[in-house]
Amino acid sequence: MATAILLISCPDQRGLVAKICDWVFIHNGNIIHADQHVDDRAGLFLMRLEWELTDFSIPRDAIGAEFSQLAATIGLDWQLHFSDRVSRLAIFVSKQDHCLYDLILRQKAKEIVAHIPVVISNHRLLEPVAHNFDINFHYVPITPETKADREQEQLELLQKYEIDVVVLAKYMQVLSANFLQQFKEIINIHHSFLPAFPGANPYQRAHQRGVKIIGATSHYVTEDLDEGPIIEQDVIRVSHRDTIDSMVRKGRDLERVVLARAVRLHLERRVLVYGKPGELRTVVFD
Amino acid sequence: MATAILLISCPDQRGLVAKICDWVFIHNGNIIHADQHVDDRAGLFLMRLEWELTDFSIPRDAIGAEFSQLAATIGLDWQLHFSDRVSRLAIFVSKQDHCLYDLILRQKAKEIVAHIPVVISNHRLLEPVAHNFDINFHYVPITPETKADREQEQLELLQKYEIDVVVLAKYMQVLSANFLQQFKEIINIHHSFLPAFPGANPYQRAHQRGVKIIGATSHYVTEDLDEGPIIEQDVIRVSHRDTIDSMVRKGRDLERVVLARAVRLHLERRVLVYGKPGELRTVVFD
Amino acid sequence: MATAILLISCPDQRGLVAKICDWVFIHNGNIIHADQHVDDRAGLFLMRLEWELTDFSIPRDAIGAEFSQLAATIGLDWQLHFSDRVSRLAIFVSKQDHCLYDLILRQKAKEIVAHIPVVISNHRLLEPVAHNFDINFHYVPITPETKADREQEQLELLQKYEIDVVVLAKYMQVLSANFLQQFKEIINIHHSFLPAFPGANPYQRAHQRGVKIIGATSHYVTEDLDEGPIIEQDVIRVSHRDTIDSMVRKGRDLERVVLARAVRLHLERRVLVYGKPGELRTVVFD
Amino acid sequence: MATAILLISCPDQRGLVAKICDWVFIHNGNIIHADQHVDDRAGLFLMRLEWELTDFSIPRDAIGAEFSQLAATIGLDWQLHFSDRVSRLAIFVSKQDHCLYDLILRQKAKEIVAHIPVVISNHRLLEPVAHNFDINFHYVPITPETKADREQEQLELLQKYEIDVVVLAKYMQVLSANFLQQFKEIINIHHSFLPAFPGANPYQRAHQRGVKIIGATSHYVTEDLDEGPIIEQDVIRVSHRDTIDSMVRKGRDLERVVLARAVRLHLERRVLVYGKPGELRTVVFD
C-alpha cells in the first residue's frame, strides 16, 4: 500500500497542523502518520506527514506541484517522498565485515527496504561477501596522492548505479569536502558515544580513560569530522575486566544495531535535519 | 501559560486529525502538542491535543460544551483538562518510605505538579515523614474483618480532601472491588517486571528463578490484581552475586523512578487507557 | 596460550580458596582467572579457576587424576576443561535465519571459538545458508508420529559429528525427555523476558498486555519447557507505536545478541549450573 | 559480623592469590569475598580480600603489622579496613537538594553505612534540610578573593568532625590544588557522560549537540577538573522532544543513583585506583 510522505520545516506559526492536515483531507488522503515538533529556541516547526495514495484525488505526479502552492503561501521548506520508490544504497567498507553482513542480511529480511547494487571498498578483502549475495563490488584503493582521482571514480560509480544513499559501514577513510559537496545523503557509524572519543582509536581511549560504558553513534556525514547530526546512539556497560579486544567485540554489536536503525529511519524518511551549519541536529519521527 | 488538553478516542476514520485540529485553529488556538495513534487491530483512533488558552476565542467554561457538538458529529469519546487545574493526590503507604519521600520531594521540586494534602497508611510508622512536610496523615489500620468499614473511611477521606488521584506508594494492601468502583484514578507500583512475578514476594522469586534482570512496573489499578494497564516499566541488571537484599535495594531505585514517571505522565494527561475489560492497554503520548 | 579451567562446587567450608589455589601454585601454575561465589542460602561454594598450562608441573593428561585426589579430600564436584580443546556445535534451526547467520559469522570472526560441522533443521529452507559457509546440513522433518524416530536420527547425527553442544537457534520444536536424557549440553533462545511469556507467541502476548519493555532469554534446556537455568537475558524498550511486527524485528536483535553471549559464556566454561531439580540456577563467572 | 578488608596492588607475579589466601587461611580467617584483576598492559595485580574477624587468630590491632611482613616479602601496596569502622562523611552542596536528600535518606535506610555529621555549603538555602535530619550545617561562602581562607575553614571543619570522605553532592565550586593535597578521599558527581561534556553546562551542550543519550559520572576528584578516575556512570535515552529542562530532570535521577552507587562502593572499600598520574583508572570489585 503506497504512501506519500512529506517532511516539512518552517518558522513556527499558528494553524500549521490544521492547514497542512486539511490539505491532505480535502484531497481525500487517509493520514496514517502525523507527527510534529516545535523547537522553541529556534522558533522552528517541523513535521512528518504520511498518507495513503489510494483514493488521493491528486495524481501522484502532480502532488509536488500542488503542494508547492500551499507551501508558498505558508513559507514551508518541504521534501516529498513515496514509500514505493525504493532507495538505492551503496555500502562503503574497508576490511571489517560485520556491518556489511548486517545490512545485507537485514535487506534480505526486508527489515531495510532498499536496493543494494554496489559495495565499494579500498581493500579487496570483502569482495567475496558482496559477490556471495550477488552485489557488485568495486575496489577503489585510496592513497593521499590519488585521493582526488579516486573519489571522482567513486562519484562516477554512484552515478552509474543511480545511488541515493551512501552508507559508510566501517569505511576507514575520511571523505573530502569536494566529495561531500557532490553527494549529500551519507550515513556513517562511529565507534564511540559521541561527542566522547571522536577521531581515531576510540576503544583504546575509552579503555585508557576507564569509562564504565561505551557506545556507538550513527550520524550524517558533514565536513566537520564526527560532528555531523546524530541519528541514533546506543551504549553498553563495560568494566575493568574488559580488555580493548572485548570492548571492540561488544562495540561491534552496538555498531551493527545503531547503524541499521539509522539507515532504516533514514530510508523511512523519519529524520529531519535542521539548525545552523556546525550545529546541525536531527528530529527523528519514530 | 495555561493550556487546554483533549484526550480523544473513536473508531478510526478519514480526516479526524484535520477536523479536530481545524476546530482548534478556527477558534484561534495555538496548538503546542498534537500526537495521535491508530491501533490497527482495534480499529481505534487515539489522540492528545494541547493548545494555549490565551487568545482562544471560546471562553474556558464553554469549551467543553462547544467541543461536545463536534464530538457528537464524529462520535468521539473525549476528556478535557486544563493544565492550571492542579490535581490533588492522596498517597497510600504502609511501612516503606522510599516512594513517599520521592514523590514529596519531586512535588516540592515541581517535577510533579500536584497538591498532596494527605497521606493515608495502615501503619503509624511514616506519620513523621508526612508531618515533616506539613501533609496530613491518617492512620487507617486494616484487618480482614474491618476492611469494608476502613475502606469506607478511606473513601470519605478522599472526598474530604477532594482527591483526584490515589497513588499506592508501596501500600501493601489489596483494594476491594467496591473501593475501585467508587474511586477510579489509582496508580500502583509493583516491584517486578510484570507479567513476570505478579503477587507477593517478587524479589525472592526472581532470585530463586535466577533471572539476570529485574524490573518494576507502574500501572492503573483494576480488579484484576497486577493486571491493570501498564503506564511505565524499567529494569536493572542483576547477577548471581545479588542477594535478595541487594535486589530489594536495586529495586527501590527502580520503584521510585518508575512510579514518579507514571504519576507525572498521568498528571500531564499523557496517558490514554483503551481496550476490552481484562485487556486494557495504554497509549502514552510522551 | 593453552589454559586449564576448573569449575568447582561443594558445600561451603573454610579455606577452600586457599587450598585450591595452593594446589595450582605448588604445581607451578600461573593463575589468570579465579572467581568464586558462595550461595549462602544453599550453603554452596562455587568457583572457576583458570591457569596457564605452560610450565605447569603436571602433564596435561594427568591433571584430572591428580586433582581428583585433592577433590576427594575436600568433597568437591568438579569439571576440568582445556581452552585449546575446541568444542563442536550443532545448530538446530527451523525457518528463521537470523540467529544462524549470527552464530556462523561470529565463529568466522573468532568471537565464538568452536567448530560448527553441522546444521540440522526440520525445514529445507536454510540449507543454502549452511552450504554457503561449507557446513553440512541435514533435513530432519518432524511430525508428531515420527518424532521419536526422527530424534533418534538427530542423536545419531550428533554422535557422527562428535558434537559437544547443541544450540537451538530458533528451532521451533520441543525436544523430548528422552532426547534430553541422552544429550545434555543444549542451549536455547526464547523470545521473551522469562518468566514473562513462556511458551508460544510471546510477542503477540507482550503486545496484547501492553508491556513497555520486551526481552529475550537464553537458557539451558531441561524437561520443564522454558524453565531451564537462565544464562543471559536482555531487553529493549517498546511503546504503543510498536506493532507485533516491529516487536519481532526488535526482538531479533535481542535474540541474536543474547544467544551469542550465552554460547560464548558456555564455550569459555564460565557458566556453572546448580540447585535443586526444577529450581536450577546459574553462576556466570564473566 | 565484622570483617577485615584488604585492598592490594603489586607487579603481577606467580602465586599471589595462593600466598595471600593462604595467609588468611592459616590464621583461621573465613574468606567471604576474594576478587582479583590483572591489568596486562600495566603488568599490575590488584586484589580485594574480605574475611570474618571472628575466630581469626591475629588480634585486630595486630593484623596490619603481621600482614606488613608478608607484604614486604612480596612487594605489595596494601590498605587494611574494618567493616565495623563506620566512615564519617561530609556532604558539600550548593543550592540543589536532590543528591543531598538522596544520600541522607539512603543513610537512614542503611543502604549507605556511614555517619553524616556535617553538611557544608556556599549557600544558606539547604540549611533546613540538614537541620531537619539533625545534621550540622556550616555556611562557608566562597568568593575568588576569599577562596584560600574559606577552604582553610572547610579543612578545619573536616578535622573537627573527623571526616573520612567528602562527597561533592552538586557543589558547584572547584576545589583548589592545595585543598586536594590536604584531603584525599573526595567523590564528585558530574552531570554528563564523561569524557563528553566536561566543565560547565553539560545539559545545554548535550541539547545543542543533539545527542540521543545523556549520562552522569561519579569520580574521585583530582587536580585535573572532571578528569579524575571514574567510579560509576549511567545513562538515559533522550530525544528531540526533550528540552534542556527535561534533560535536567532526567539527569537528576541519574545523578542521584550514580553518586549513591559510587559512595556505597567506596565505603565498602570495593574501589581501587591505579595508573599513572593523569591516567588514573579504577577497578571496582562489585
Amino acid at A179: F
- Average pLDDT of the residues of chain C: 95
pLDDT score recorded for residue C14: 86
Contact predicate C231/C286, CB 8 Å: no
Residues of B within 8 A of D253 (CB-CB) are 257
- D25 and C19 within 8 Å at the Cβ level: the answer is yes
A192 interfacial to chain D (CB closer than 8 Å): no
Spell out the domain ranges in chain B.
Answer: 3-82, 88-284
Element (H, E) at D150: helix D147-160
Which architecture characterizes domain B3-82 according to CATH?
2-Layer Sandwich (3.30)
What is the SS3 assignment for B43?
coil
pLDDT score recorded for residue D225: 82
Task: For residues B285 and B81, give the distance between their C-alpha atoms in angstroms, rounded to a whole number.
Answer: 15
Task: For residues C73 and C71, give the distance between their C-alpha atoms in angstroms, rounded to a whole number.
Answer: 6
Give the CA distances from residue C9 to residues C38, C47, C74, D234, in Å, rounded to whole numbers and listed in that order.
10, 6, 11, 34
Q: Looking at the domain B88-284, which fold is it?
A: Rossmann fold (3.40.50)
pLDDT score recorded for residue B15: 86
State pLDDT tens for residues A207-242: 999 999 999 999 999 998 889 999 999 999 999 999
Q: What is the mean predicted confidence (pLDDT) over B7-21? A: 91
Within A40-135, strands assigned E span 44-52, 77-82, 88-93, 115-121
Among the listed residues A82, A71, A79, A81, the one whose alpha carbon sits nearest the alpha carbon of residue A16: A71
User: What pairing do the DSSP bridges indicate for beta strands B281-284 and C3-11?
Assistant: unpaired
Q: How far is C232 from chain B (nearest CA, A)?
A: 6
Residue identified by cell 553518586 is: D259
Contact predicate B164/B88, CB 8 Å: yes
Q: How far is A32 from chain D (nearest CA, A)?
A: 21
Q: B177 — phi, psi (to 5°)?
A: -55, -40
Among the listed residues A3, A205, C47, the one whose alpha carbon sits nearest the alpha carbon of residue D279: A205
Instruction: Give contacts of C 38-57 with D, CB under 8 A.
Output: 38
Contact predicate A137/A131, CB 8 Å: yes
User: Of B97, B105, B249, which has the smallest distance from its Cβ to D101's Cβ?
Assistant: B105
Q: What is the mean predicted confidence (pLDDT) over D98-111? A: 97
Contact predicate C38/C68, CB 8 Å: no
State pLDDT tens for residues C252-279: 999 999 999 999 999 999 999 999 888 8
The segments of chain A whose pLDDT lies below 50 read: none
State pLDDT tens for residues C205-240: 999 999 999 999 999 999 988 899 999 999 999 999
pLDDT score recorded for residue C219: 98
Give the CA distances from residue C247 to residues A285, B168, C216, C250, in Å, rounded to whole numbers and listed in that order.
18, 31, 11, 5
Give burial (CB, 10 Å; 0-12/13-18/19+) of B245: exposed
Amino acid at A35: D
Task: For residues A252 and C175, give the distance between their C-alpha atoms in angstroms, rounded to a whole number.
Answer: 33
A235 interfacial to chain C (CB closer than 8 Å): no
- B212 and C230 within 8 Å at the Cβ level: the answer is yes
- Average pLDDT of the residues of chain D: 95
Instruction: Give contacts of B 82-111 with D, CB under 8 A.
Output: 97-98, 101, 105, 109, 111
Residues of C within 8 A of B204 (CB-CB) are none
Q: ipTM of the assembly?
A: 0.94
Q: Which of the residues A219, A237, A240 would you substitute to probe the D interface, choosing the one with the greatest number of D C-beta atoms within 10 Å?
A: A240
Contact predicate D36/D48, CB 8 Å: yes
Dig out the grid coordinates for D84 from the structure: 565495623
Residues of A within 8 A of B74 (CB-CB) are none
C: neighbours with 3+ CB pairs under 8 Å? Answer: A, B, D
Q: Say what percent of chain C tops pLDDT 70.
A: 100
Q: C209-233 burial by CB neighbour count: b if 16+ within 10 A, else e?
A: bbbbbbbbbbbbbbbeebbbbbbbb
Phi-psi bin for D142: left (phi > 0), alpha (psi -120 to 50), beta?
beta
- Average pLDDT of the residues of chain B: 95
pLDDT-derived band of residue C32, with 50, 70 and 90 as boundaries? confident
Q: What is the mean predicted confidence (pLDDT) over B78-101? A: 97
Q: How many CB atoms lie within 10 A of CB C59?
A: 9
Residues of D within 8 A of B95 (CB-CB) are none
Return the number of CB contacts < 8 Å for B and C.
Answer: 79
Residues 6+ apart with CB under 8 A from D234: A213, D215, D216, D254, D257, D258
Known active-site residue C234: no
Residue identified by cell 474556558 is: B60
Q: How far is A208 from chain D (nearest CA, A)?
A: 7
Residue identified by cell 561519579 is: D218
Q: A239 — phi, psi (to 5°)?
A: -140, 180
Paired with C214 in beta bridges are C236
- C32 and D17 within 8 Å at the Cβ level: the answer is no
Query: Which residues of B are designated catalytic?
Result: 226
**Quick one: how many helices (H) and strands (E) in chain A?**
8, 13
Residues 6+ apart with CB under 8 A from D183: D155, D158, D163, D166
pLDDT score recorded for residue B206: 95
Instruction: Give contacts of A 123-162 with C, CB under 8 A.
Output: 132
Instruction: Give contacts of D 211-230 with A, CB under 8 A.
Output: 211-213, 215, 229-230
* Helix orientation angle between C60-74 and C16-26, rounded to the nearest 10 degrees: 150
State pLDDT tens for residues C65-94: 999 999 999 999 999 999 999 999 999 999
Paired with D90 in beta bridges are D118, D166
* DSSP, res D85: S
Q: How far is B149 from chain D (nearest CA, A)?
A: 33
Residues of B within 8 A of A28 (CB-CB) are 14
Task: For residues D93 and D95, give the distance between their C-alpha atoms in angstroms, rounded to a whole number.
Answer: 7
Q: How far is A165 from chain D (nearest CA, A)?
A: 22
State pLDDT tens for residues C86-122: 999 999 999 999 999 999 999 999 999 999 999 999 9
User: What pairing do the DSSP bridges indicate for beta strands A165-168 and A186-190?
Assistant: parallel
Q: What is the mean predicted confidence (pLDDT) over B224-250? A: 95
Contact predicate A151/A144, CB 8 Å: no
pLDDT score recorded for residue C276: 86
B250 interfacial to chain D (CB closer than 8 Å): no
Q: B232 — phi, psi (to 5°)?
A: -155, 150
Query: Which residues of A are designated catalytic?
Result: 226
DSSP code per residue over A148-201: HHHHHHHHHHHHHTT-SEEEESS--SPPPHHHHHH---EEEEESS-TTSS-SS-
pLDDT score recorded for residue A224: 86
The residue ranking higher by pLDDT, C157 or D16, is: C157
Phi-psi bin for A74: left (phi > 0), alpha (psi -120 to 50), beta?
alpha
* DSSP, res D212: S
Phi-psi bin for C45: left (phi > 0), alpha (psi -120 to 50), beta?
beta
